Amino acid sequence: MAWLVLAVSAFNGWAQDFPNRAIKLVVPFPSGGGVDAVARTVAEKLAIELKQPVIVENKGGAGGALGASWVARSPADGYTLLFANNGQAVLPHLQKIDWDPVKDFKPVSNVATYAMVVLVNANSPIKTLPELIRSAKANPGHITYGSSGLGGPLHLGMEMLRSAAGIDIMHVPYKGNAPMTLALLGQEIDVSMDTLAVSLPHIKSGKFRALAVTSQRRMALLPDVPTIREAALPDFDYEGWQAIFVPANTPSALVARLQSALAKVIAMPSVSQKLIELGYEPRSSSSQDLANLLAKDLLVYRKVIQEANIKSE
């Protein structure tokens, strides 16, 4: 038993010494997007909290699958982190991937959640979400909605709304938020759903009208816009999230150290305010709470994808 005592003692000492070198925070998307902006905001303060550099590396490709694969196969020593979003719960249902979101990763903490906004062009005759639903029911298949791509969060959100409201609307996929936004500006489509980070400037300029938000509570930056629950569908709830994971075999003591540091960072007023300005709600969590969220969303997205018969491009 002496060897076991020595091993435990050595491990505890190692954990207490963590980290003693730079940490890599992998963002599985190109630089410049919303996920990247949140990751860099958190990394800056996490480096101060951990007293070691936290280096953001963008490893984009395959909708986030390539970067996740790279982290899953990295050493499980706490020095390589994955900054993922709820696409972790979508990708397994849409494409062949060489990693499992549950078996190959250990959750650390949630970082932020974000709601979507249901939008129409300001010149649209549709003024409210109930009007949109009534119009769609009166004219099945005639109302068009845009998305940033098949199986993306905007597509899934609109499919959840379509199903919950029992309406028949036509999907028009675009290759990214920018062309979808231009389509709504040009009234090529009737409605879309987008993140606040992308849509807020157009709402403020008066070019878009916000009908409702997908979260359970109204958004701080859009206090006059009702939730979908308030406006029409009492049980509706759809929020995206961003969170940090590590390779599956990472020791629990290191995960706890990272989770504790992240909770302190996310609670910093400077970080919270920045995330709110970016259109997110700061929200840390325990490792178990994040695991529960991932498990729930894996089931929810599988159901939406199967019912809507969504296929990857």
Superfamily of domain 22-114+239-308: Bordetella uptake gene, domain 1 (3.40.190.150)
Structure tokens at 248: 């599956």
pLDDT at 7: 43
The residue written with tokens 């982290």 in the block is 71
Phi-psi domain of 176 (left: phi exceeds 0; alpha: psi -120 through 50; beta: other) = left
**DSSP 8-state code for residue 117:** E
Distance of CA 51 to the CA centre of its chain: 28
Tens place of pLDDT for every residue, the chain, 313 residues? 544 444 444 445 556 799 999 999 999 998 888 899 999 999 999 999 999 999 999 999 988 999 999 999 999 999 999 999 999 999 999 999 999 999 999 999 999 999 999 999 999 999 999 999 999 999 999 999 999 888 888 999 999 999 999 999 999 999 888 899 999 999 999 999 998 888 999 999 999 999 999 999 999 899 999 999 999 999 999 999 999 999 999 999 999 999 999 999 999 999 999 999 888 999 999 999 999 999 999 999 999 999 999 987 5
Q: What is the pLDDT of residue 152?
A: 86
Where are the domains positioned within the chain? 22-114+239-308, 115-231
Is 115-231 in the same CATH topology as 22-114+239-308? yes
200 torsion bin: left (phi>0), alpha (psi -120 to 50), beta (else): alpha
**Alpha carbon of 30 to those of 36, 178, 294: distances in Å?**
7, 15, 23
Which residue is it, tokens 């700061």? Answer: 282
CATH fold group of domain 115-231: D-Maltodextrin-Binding Protein; domain 2 (3.40.190)
Look up residue 272 and give its amino acid.
Answer: S
CA 117 to chain centre: 14
Cα 77 to its chain centre, rounded Å, is 25
What does the buried/exposed string (b/e) look like for 8-36 if buried means 16 or more CB atoms within 10 Å of the residue's CB? eeeeeeeeeebbeeebbbbbbbeeebbbb
pTM of the model: 0.88
Q: What is the predicted pLDDT for the residue at 176?
A: 84
Residue 41 CB-density burial (10 A; 0-12 exposed, 13-18 middle, 19+ buried) = buried
Q: Mapping DSSP to helix (H, G, I), strand (E, B) and coil, where does residue 289 land?
A: helix
For residue 32, the model assigns a pLDDT of: 83
**Helix and strand counts by DSSP (H, E) for the chain:** 12, 10
